[in-house]
Amino acid sequence: MRFLAGSRRGAVDERLLWSRDLRFVHRLASSLPGARMYELDAGIVVIAPADELTDAFAAEIATANHSPSFGLVTLDMTLPEGERHLVALSSAVQQSGLAERIGMAQSSHQLQTKMLDYFFTLRMHAIAFQPIVDLVTGDLIEYECLFRPQMPGLQTSITNIVDAAISTGRTIELDSFIVRAILQRVSSLQAERKARGLPPFHLAINFTPASLLDPQFEATAFAAMCKEVDLHPRQITLECTEQQAVSDLAPLVKQVKALRRLGFGFAIDDAGAGYASFTLIAALRPSVIKIDRDIASGIARDDAKQALVEAFVSFGGKIGALLLAEGIERRADLAMLTALGVDLGQGYLIGKPNVQPLQPRPMEKLRLGATRHAVSRRVRAGHSRGRPARVAVQR
């Protein structure tokens, strides 16, 4: 390869970037005084000093050029010169996400590790806020904070990031990174609201069970972390996600009780799916039970889903928990969930996630009189056939 010859630059640490996008790489190289660029048969390479060719700088240029795929790695200066460039080129191609197409794919674990490493180096990720409302009054209760990875050159979702963290044993590192980013962002927004005379923020943040048991999220330590950015525990609901099974409930129960005593709300996410069983919910005694979106979707036309939600409403009333339905996208489903006694709701129908926290749509505009009437008749008919009447949830 042409760039293997005459490229030695002494002991200066260097990095190599590979991409198929010539325009992107030309723009990148033109902004780096110490860069050398080499066009290959399958893509283009730029080599530059490590302190110039950073992940953040490459991501910034990529964002301005329609986010092309690329791979960026550090040259191993302990290897012989020719070998060091070949190894770096191979790694960069693999990292770019195009490796499988050209027969250079690594193991899933290695690729997940590299994806996470790349994720943690960036500081341009977005946080979106989706409103959660009282289904009866339409009042805004809080916003769920939804983390949106922004990774130029690599199209992925937060679900893939979380799955990678679970597979590689890095869930605590991930939650710490995300939670700190959310707290900083919300603190900034709250300062703006305070200056305008608006009420304080209330927000919901997702956690994995493993992270809730980590010392940095011990109840007192986490409360102190929140107060450092002018947030009170009563403004925050912690959502325990269902991606991980809980082998020993006792430590988690103890931690949840400690968090609740300090004022934090606690929610079990995805009830009715995954590991969020009645046993887990009964043990943790959450303040909020979130009904899985697959159950809420189409519930107006599904007797089995209605029966399941009725059971959750009754169960929630007995343990003092509010019911929250997520993924509400149809007016008929909204009406049915309200009629069944679900307290809170969120979804695209009510308000889409946005990087600026927006007000939800007015509830009176979402309700259809005919739909409400039809749902009420259906619920009454169900009760007359022997279904248990719903138990009112105590607020």
Q: Mean per-residue pLDDT for 13-36?
A: 91
pLDDT at 272: 66
**The domains spanning 2-106 and 126-384 adopt the same CATH topology:** no
Structure-block tokens of residue 126: 């977005």
d(CA 306, CA 312): 10
What confidence tier does 387 reach under pLDDT thresholds 50, 70, 90? very low
CATH architecture for the domain at 2-106: 2-Layer Sandwich (3.30)
CA torsion, points 192, 198, 200, 203, in degrees to nearest 10? -80
Q: Strand ranges (DSSP E) for 105-195?
A: 126-134, 140-148
Q: Mean per-residue pLDDT for 305-314?
A: 93
pLDDT at 56: 87
- For residue 352, pLDDT over 60 is answered with yes
pLDDT at 388: 43
Residue type, 337: L
CA angle 352–143–348, rounded 5-degree value = 20
Q: Mean per-residue pLDDT for 88-93?
A: 82
d(CA 247, CA 310): 28
Q: Where are the domains of the chain?
A: 2-106, 126-384
Length of the chain as a residue count? 395
Q: Mean per-residue pLDDT for 304-332?
A: 94
pLDDT digits (tens, 9 = 90+) for 118-143: 888 887 899 999 999 999 999 999 99
pLDDT at 210: 84
pLDDT at 30: 92
What confidence tier does 243 reach under pLDDT thresholds 50, 70, 90? low
pLDDT at 380: 59
Q: Strand ranges (DSSP E) for 96-173?
A: 126-134, 140-148
pLDDT at 79: 81
Cα–Cα distances in Å, from 198 out to 101, 183, 191, 201, 319?
A: 52, 18, 10, 9, 33
Task: Classify burial at 7, counting beta carbons within 10 Å of its beta carbon; exposed 0-12, middle 13-18, buried 19 or more.
Answer: middle
Tell me the HSE value of 127 on the side-chain side, using a 13 A CA sphere.
Answer: 22
pTM of the model: 0.70
Cα–Cα distances in Å, from 59 out to 39, 124, 144, 334, 387?
A: 21, 9, 27, 41, 57
Phi (first) and psi of residue 89, to 5 degrees: -65, -45
What confidence tier does 390 reach under pLDDT thresholds 50, 70, 90? very low
Cα–Cα distances in Å, from 310 out to 132, 133, 291, 298, 386?
A: 20, 20, 11, 15, 13
CA torsion, points 210, 211, 212, 215, in degrees to nearest 10? 110
CATH code of 126-384, in short, is 3.20.20.450
Q: Mean per-residue pLDDT for 319-343?
A: 95
Average pLDDT, the chain: 84
- For residue 149, pLDDT over 70 is answered with yes
pLDDT at 10: 54
- For residue 196, pLDDT over 50 is answered with yes
Residues whose CB falls within 8 Å of the CB of residue 215, separated by 6 or more in sequence, listed in order: 221
pLDDT digits (tens, 9 = 90+) for 46-77: 999 999 999 889 988 988 888 888 889 899 88
CA torsion, points 78, 84, 89, 94, in degrees to nearest 10? -40
d(CA 393, CA 136): 13
At residue 118, the 3 state secondary structure works out as helix
- For residue 344, pLDDT over 60 is answered with yes
d(CA 306, CA 298): 10
Structure-block tokens of residue 386: 């022997």
Residue type, 288: V
pLDDT digits (tens, 9 = 90+) for 245-301: 667 788 999 999 999 999 999 999 877 665 556 777 888 899 999 998 999 999 999
